[in-house]
């Protein structure tokens, strides 16, 4: 994805720059909590649940922000459809990062339960 950003160089409307950066931030937060979850699995099993809860929160936030951006884009009539689809693709990529972090968190939760048995 980072290669696609550097090759395709998407141009975001100024109205969504802050929302897009917010999406980047919550995706990063989800990944950071995922890393903390995995570390907690090896050091402090009781902390795993808290980290997984935070991952879920950030993933939901990424969904909300992504939907807000997409609704804004497709409601605007002055933006070409090709540009809308191009931007939507990058928004979806960022949402997928948070989704994958949540998937890892779910797996670590299952492993934690098995380990505690």
pTM: 0.90
pLDDT at 34: 98
Query: What is the domain count for the chain?
Result: 1
Q: What is the pLDDT along the chain (117 residues), one digit of tens a residue?
A: 678 877 888 888 889 999 999 999 999 999 999 999 999 999 999 999 999 999 999 999 999 999 999 999 999 889 899 999 999 999 999 999 999 999 999 999 999 999 988
Cα separation, 90 vs 30, whole angstroms: 17
In this structure, is residue 2 part of a structural domain?
no
In this structure, is residue 11 part of a structural domain?
no
CATH code, domain carrying 71: 1.20.58.220
Q: Using CB atoms within 10 Å of the CB of residue 68, give its burial: 0 to 12 exposed, 13 to 18 middle, 19+ buried.
A: middle
pLDDT at 1: 62
In this structure, is residue 9 part of a structural domain?
no
Q: What is the domain range of residue 93?
A: 17-116
Cα separation, 59 vs 106, whole angstroms: 12
In this structure, is residue 79 part of a structural domain?
yes
pLDDT at 112: 95
């Amino acid at each position: 994805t980072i290669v696609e950003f550097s090759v395709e160089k998407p141009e975001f409307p100024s109205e969504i720059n802050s929302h897009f950066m917010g999406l980047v931030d919550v995706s990063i937060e989800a990944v950071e909590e995922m890393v903390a979850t995995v570390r907690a699995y090896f050091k402090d099993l009781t902390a795993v649940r808290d980290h997984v809860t935070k991952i879920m929160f950030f993933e939901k936030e990424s969904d909300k922000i992504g939907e807000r951006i997409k609704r804004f884009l497709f409601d605007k009539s002055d933006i070409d459809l090709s540009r809308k689809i191009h931007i939507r693709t990058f928004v979806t990529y960022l949402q997928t990062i948070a989704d994958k972090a949540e998937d890892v968190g779910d797996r670590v939760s299952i492993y934690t339960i098995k380990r505690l048995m």
